[in-house]
């Protein structure tokens, strides 16, 4: 199995370039810990006191699963795009339309990070431009309106005093969600264009930017995760009673019954979207100088970083705020997290609060860049391998997959217009995209043992312990349970629309495979496994992959039936 000096499978003359080692990938992926900001409030508001345990369990599961991803990535030193691309190759023998589900599910999960991160960052920028009015200003406005005979409440007064926040060019009701073009949309669009401009320079330039910004953000999150233990802002009583909420977003303790377990599984479902995300470190295999050593190191050390931060930050966050503090509207929406972190570290200093807001904006830009780098390479490699339309394999002179990046950008402008409306729309997008992520996760964890059976003769730079590989296979079904039981906690239609979003790959793949490629796969797709498009090799795993698929579907259906909110 040879490693080419460059990835020459693109349809254009430009190619991805071997320009970084594992440290570069580590820093490109260093934005992943910032994903805690996306849902720390939502999980706390849904689960309650056990929220910190949800983060710990989820992160430990993600770390164990990463060893399977590290092994299968080593089989493909000439591919980019991440675990989904490597896992899809295992499923190809067992069904042409099964394999691309892995690639599509991973992209559906990662691409919304651009719009959701931009929406939160835009919220912070809007609050800097137009701070919330004081209680005195609201009271004065109400009194002023009363003199003219108008009666307004505090919410209406606050809205009137914040015209920038309330301005919208137009709003369109689409039924299940609404679409709005407002200041959040325009500021978010500028941030995504900034991420695009950084990416346009290629992976080496991106890694250089991420190293600087990532180091600042990692240090900041470490401070947030450690300082409250020593400055008196950590309160152990905030971790009891250890029972889930009775009703989401209401600070009343519930019980460990079906309703309580449903909320906890809903938290596990959405936490996976963040804690498993460091697998993006192996999206750059074909851009590593030495993929044999860089691949494992990239995902392992990224995993260690996330293990520390995804455990420490939620613990200190909860230890400071307590249950009622975590249920605050701005915490749930994500736009109050920076102020809370500033208060945790420096006791509410105005200067520190503003500093943390700027750091939070930088952290969000960091994860936006991370997401665009990973998701665009998933689209690129999906195109090179024959899963997605050919135009996505275009690469510019800097080695950046610009056609895939433009696709990410345009799609996320649409999502941003939805996420700009309110937190309900935000969590709807998050839950639907995470259905794709769990399906990708299921297929790829099972691809580990399928590759062992079907391609056991192929040398592996890293081979995961069999016990760890087996645990990954078990976790695939546990994650399926999280989806079946927990998706509808975030939106009654999340599971349905998640399946609809995944089904869109069928016409997309059919167009590429049967219209553009006339029923043949590109010859280089399975070259690393020594296979050809017309001869995919023996199905040594027999019916086991099909049994795994049937078992996964059964787990989702049964979980959805058993776990319901009362």
Picking from 5, 22, 80, the residue whose alpha carbon sits closest to that of residue 295 is 22
Q: Does position 171 have pLDDT exceeding 90, yes or no?
A: no
Residue whose token pair is 């430990």 = 60
Q: CB–CB of 454/540 below 8 Å? A: yes
pTM of the complete model: 0.89
In this prediction, residue 4 carries a pLDDT of 42
pLDDT band at 16 (very low <50, low <70, confident <90, very high): low
Q: Alpha-carbon distance 439 to 433, whole Å?
A: 10
Q: CB–CB of 19/289 below 8 Å? A: yes
* DSSP strand pairing (178-182 vs 245-247): unpaired
Q: Does position 47 have pLDDT exceeding 90, yes or no?
A: yes
In this prediction, residue 6 carries a pLDDT of 41
Q: Alpha-carbon distance 40 to 326, whole Å?
A: 9
Q: Please report which helix (H) or strand (E) contains residue 314, including its range.
A: helix 291-326
| Cα–Cα separations (whole angstroms), residue 378 to 33, 100, 229, 287, 450 | 21, 11, 40, 13, 21
Q: Does position 533 have pLDDT exceeding 70, yes or no?
A: no
DSSP labels, 487-529: HHHH-TTHHHHHHHHHHTHHHHHHIIIIIISTT---TTTTGGG
Q: Using CA of residue 55, residue 59, residue 61, residue 65, what is the dihedral sign?
A: positive
Q: Does position 11 have pLDDT exceeding 50, yes or no?
A: no
DSSP labels, 229-282: GTTT---GGGG-S--BEEETTEEEE--SSHHHHHHHHHHHHHHHHHHTGGGGGG
Contacts of 42 (CB under 8 A, 6+ apart): 270, 332, 423, 427, 430, 490
Exposed/middle/buried for residue 48 (C-beta within 10 Å: 0-12, 13-18, 19+): buried
Q: CB–CB of 215/359 below 8 Å? A: no
DSSP labels, 78-92: T--S-HHHHHHHHHG
pLDDT band at 204 (very low <50, low <70, confident <90, very high): low
Picking from 427, 433, 359, the residue whose alpha carbon sits closest to that of residue 43 is 427
Q: Alpha-carbon distance 547 to 1, whole Å?
A: 31
Q: What is the pLDDT of residues 242-298, one digit of tens each?
A: 999 999 988 889 999 999 999 999 999 999 999 998 888 877 777 778 878 888 888
Mean pLDDT of the chain: 87
Q: Alpha-carbon distance 473 to 453, whole Å?
A: 14
* φ, ψ dihedrals at 459, nearest 5°: -60, 140
- Beta-bridge partner residues of 6: 17
Q: Alpha-carbon distance 59 to 277, whole Å?
A: 10
Q: How many CA atoms lie within 13 A of 433 on its CB side?
A: 26
Contacts of 426 (CB under 8 A, 6+ apart): 116, 119, 333, 334, 419
- Element counts in the chain: helices (H) and strands (E): 22, 6
Q: Does position 20 have pLDDT exceeding 80, yes or no?
A: no
Q: Does position 534 have pLDDT exceeding 70, yes or no?
A: no
In this prediction, residue 392 carries a pLDDT of 92
Q: CB–CB of 81/377 below 8 Å? A: yes
Q: Alpha-carbon distance 491 to 553, whole Å?
A: 20
pLDDT band at 158 (very low <50, low <70, confident <90, very high): confident
Candidate ranges 286-290, 462-466, 503-507, 523-527; pick with highest mean pLDDT? 503-507
Q: Does position 8 have pLDDT exceeding 60, yes or no?
A: no
């Amino acid at each position: 199995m040879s490693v080419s000096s460059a990835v020459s499978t693109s349809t254009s003359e430009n190619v991805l370039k071997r320009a970084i080692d594992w440290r570069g990938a580590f820093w490109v992926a260093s934005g992943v810990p910032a994903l805690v900001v996306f849902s720390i409030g939502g999980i706390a508001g849904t689960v309650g006191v056990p929220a910190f345990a949800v983060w710990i369990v989820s992160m430990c599961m993600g770390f164990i699963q990463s060893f399977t991803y590290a092994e299968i990535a080593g089989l493909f030193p000439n591919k980019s795009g991440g675990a989904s691309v490597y896992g899809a190759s295992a499923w190809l023998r067992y069904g042409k339309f099964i394999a691309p589900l892995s690639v599509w599910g991973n992209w559906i999960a990662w691409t919304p990070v651009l719009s959701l991160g931009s929406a939160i960052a835009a919220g912070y920028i809007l609050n800097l431009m137009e701070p919330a009015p004081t209680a005195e200003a609201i009271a004065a406005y109400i009194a002023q309106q009363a003199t003219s005979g108008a009666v307004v409440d505090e919410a209406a007064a606050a809205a009137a005093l914040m015209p920038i926040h309330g301005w919208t060019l137009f709003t369109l009701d689409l039924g299940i969600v609404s679409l709005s073009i407002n200041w959040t949309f325009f500021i978010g669009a500028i941030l995504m264009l900034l991420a695009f401009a950084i990416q346009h320079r290629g992976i080496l330039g991106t890694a250089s930017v991420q190293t600087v910004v990532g180091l600042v953000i990692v240090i900041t999150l470490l401070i947030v995760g450690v300082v409250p233990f020593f400055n008196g802002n950590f309160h152990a009583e905030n971790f009891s009673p250890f029972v889930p909420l009775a009703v989401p977003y209401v600070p009343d303790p519930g019980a460990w019954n079906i309703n309580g377990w449903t909320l906890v599984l809903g938290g596990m479902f959405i936490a996976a979207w963040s804690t498993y995300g460091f697998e993006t470190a192996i999206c750059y295999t074909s851009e590593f100088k030495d993929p044999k050593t860089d691949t494992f190191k990239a995902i392992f050390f990224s995993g260690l970083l996330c293990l520390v931060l995804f455990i420490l930050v939620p613990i200190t966050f909860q230890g400071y705020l307590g249950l009622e503090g975590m249920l605050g509207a701005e915490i749930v929406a994500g736009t109050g997290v920076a102020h809370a972190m500033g208060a945790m570290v420096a006791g509410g200093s105005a200067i520190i609060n503003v500093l943390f807001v700027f750091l939070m904006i930088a952290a969000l830009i960091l994860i936006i860049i991370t997401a665009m780098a990973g998701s665009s390479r998933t689209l690129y490699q999906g195109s090179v391998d024959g899963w997605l339309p050919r135009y996505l394999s275009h690469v510019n002179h800097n080695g950046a997959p610009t056609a895939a990046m433009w696709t990410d950008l345009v799609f996320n402008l649409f999502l941003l217009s939805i996420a700009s409306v309110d937190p309900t729309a935000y969590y709807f997008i998050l839950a639907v995209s995470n259905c794709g992520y769990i399906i990708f996760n299921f297929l790829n964890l099972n691809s580990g043992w399928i590759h062992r059976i079907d391609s056991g003769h192929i040398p592996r730079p890293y081979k995961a312990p069999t016990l760890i590989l087996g645990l990954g296979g078990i976790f695939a079904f546990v994650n399926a349970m999280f989806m079946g039981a927990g998706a509808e906690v975030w939106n009654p239609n999340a599971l349905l629309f998640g399946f609809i979003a995944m089904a869109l790959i069928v016409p997309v793949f059919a167009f590429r495979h049967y219209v553009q490629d006339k029923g043949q796969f590109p010859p280089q797709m399975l070259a690393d496994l020594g296979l050809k498009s017309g001869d995919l090799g023996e199905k040594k795993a027999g019916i086991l992959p099909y049994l795994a698929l049937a078992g996964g579907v059964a787990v989702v259906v049964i979980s959805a039936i058993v776990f319901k909110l009362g």
